Amino acid sequence: MARPLISPSILSADFARLGEEVRAIDEAGADWIHVDVMDGHFVPNLTIGPAVVKALRPHTAKPLDVHLMIAPVDPFLTAFADAGADIITFHPEAGPHAHRTVQAIKALGKQAGVSLNPATPAKMLDYLIDEIDLVLVMSVNPGFGGQSFIASQLKKIEAVRKMIDKTGRDIRLQVDGGIDVGTATQAIEAGADVLVAGTATFRGGPQRYAENIAALRGGH
């Protein structure tokens, strides 16, 4: 299996030093930068908007992996694309027409991702899988960092992996929530190839970031 990509979630970074934190995780070996956008309505937390994504864009050449936990999602796609997002991931529950949302993201020249909440079945992807670039399996209920991994999601990761392999397309399978050294290994074994980690990446300060990222990759 190819080496898994690590996409540190800046939700766990020092928000007073966000540009420096992004540069530090970039230099420490992060593959992507994961940006959690929450609206206090679709999920129970309020984080950041397009202006922060735009401010961070000059600090890294790595892909900005923007996870929109907002509803309705469609009115904000252009703003995040213009701000410099490379991958825009949304939840099918965040609007009435998930296929239209995928089309809108692609029309903006961005990669489109679909995120599945813990109770959302893999079957939700049946009529979207041929259009998308990424599937994000949430291994916690979205809204907060630092939660524990929900083990039932490993079966879903396996199911999504089979769906992806069947298409023959280059679709990334990302897992987010409760990722640490132990659960990272479980997620990779189930078929994940991109890991989102907030707490596990930023623990110990900048001098530890490279070590933390390497530990998440394990022997891969």
97, exposed or middle or buried, with CB in 10 Å at 0-12, 13-18, 19+? exposed
Q: Both ends of the chain: CA-CA distance in Å? A: 8
Would you call 176 a catalytic residue per the annotation? yes
- Does 178 carry a binding-site annotation? yes
Residue 16 has a CB neighbour count (10 Å cut-off) of: 7
User: Which two structure tokens, joined as six digits, stand for 7?
Assistant: 């996409």
162, exposed or middle or buried, with CB in 10 Å at 0-12, 13-18, 19+? exposed
> Of residues 26, 31, 65, 176, which has the active-site annotation?
176
Q: Helix, strand, or coil here: 87?
A: strand
- Does 143 carry a binding-site annotation? yes
- Does 91 carry a binding-site annotation? no
- Does 144 carry a binding-site annotation? yes
- Does 145 carry a binding-site annotation? yes
- Does 59 carry a binding-site annotation? no
Sheet holding 111-116, edge to edge: 5-8, 194-197, 172-176, 134-138, 111-116, 87-90, 64-69, 33-38
- Does 176 carry a binding-site annotation? yes
- On whether the CB atoms of residues 7 and 30 are closer than 8 A, the answer is yes
Would you call 39 a catalytic residue per the annotation? no
- Does 40 carry a binding-site annotation? no
Q: Which residue has the tokens 């690590």?
A: 6
> Of residues 36, 39, 133, 193, which has the active-site annotation?
36
- Does 182 carry a binding-site annotation? no
Residue 167 has a CB neighbour count (10 Å cut-off) of: 11
Work out the angle at residue 69's Cα, subtended by the Cα atoms of residues 66 and 73, and round it to the nearest 5 degrees: 90
- Does 220 carry a binding-site annotation? no
Active-site residues, by number, are: 36, 176
Instruction: Indicate the annotated binding residues.
Output: 9, 34, 36, 67, 143-146, 176-178
Instruction: Indicate the annotated binding residues for a divalent metal cation.
Output: 34, 36, 67, 176
